[in-house]
């Protein structure tokens, strides 16, 4: 960690990059955006969505779960950008920006399987 701090404090002109070859136009042509290499961890959830919304999602040729995820991801990015503009450099925008790349496991608490709903009513 101290080495990284020392390196970060150096001006670019003093950093030895002689062992890193310069990129050519061909290298750039073959490259892919990092976002294309990132595959987020999927989490299975259960939620209730209005029937007409589900039918609309299913009307597309793409799998409706993927379409729903894409719509939610776009909304998430828009909210992050809005938060970052309202609070530039704020902790929330930094946290949200990093959260999508986090690899820690989320912990969820599940109700025991008793045949009853969380409110105590019997399932139909």
Output the six-digit token pair for 115: 């045949």
- The string of pLDDT tens digits covering residues 84-97 is 888 776 655 455 55
Instruction: Output the CA–CA distances (angstroms, integers) from residue 30 to 19, 23, 24, 27, in the order listed.
Output: 21, 11, 10, 5
Report pTM.
Answer: 0.44
Rounded-to-integer distance, Cα 6 and Cα 115, Å: 60
Rounded-to-integer distance, Cα 20 and Cα 7, Å: 16
Q: Where are the domains of the chain?
A: 49-97
% of the chain exceeding 70 in pLDDT: 71
In residues, how long is the chain?
A: 124
CB 80 within 8 A of CB 96: yes
Task: Report CA 43 to chain centroid distance, whole Å.
Answer: 12
**How many other C-beta atoms are found inside a 10 Å radius of the C-beta of residue 96?**
17
Is pLDDT larger for residue 107 or for residue 91? 91
DSSP-assigned letter for residue 116: B
- The string of pLDDT tens digits covering residues 20-69 is 999 999 999 999 888 778 788 899 999 999 999 999 999 988 899 999 99
């Amino acid at each position: 960690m101290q080495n990284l701090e020392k390196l970060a404090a150096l001006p670019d002109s003093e950093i030895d990059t002689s062992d890193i070859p310069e990129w050519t136009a061909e290298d750039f042509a073959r490259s892919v955006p990092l976002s294309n290499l990132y595959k987020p961890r999927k989490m299975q959830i259960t939620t209730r969505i209005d029937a007409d919304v589900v039918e609309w999602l299913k009307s597309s040729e793409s799998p409706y779960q993927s379409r729903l995820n894409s719509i939610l991801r776009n909304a998430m990015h828009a909210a992050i950008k809005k938060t970052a503009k309202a609070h530039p450099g704020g902790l929330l925008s930094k946290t949200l920006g990093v959260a999508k790349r986090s690899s820690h496991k989320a912990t969820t608490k599940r109700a025991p399987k008793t045949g009853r709903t969380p409110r105590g009513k019997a399932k139909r």
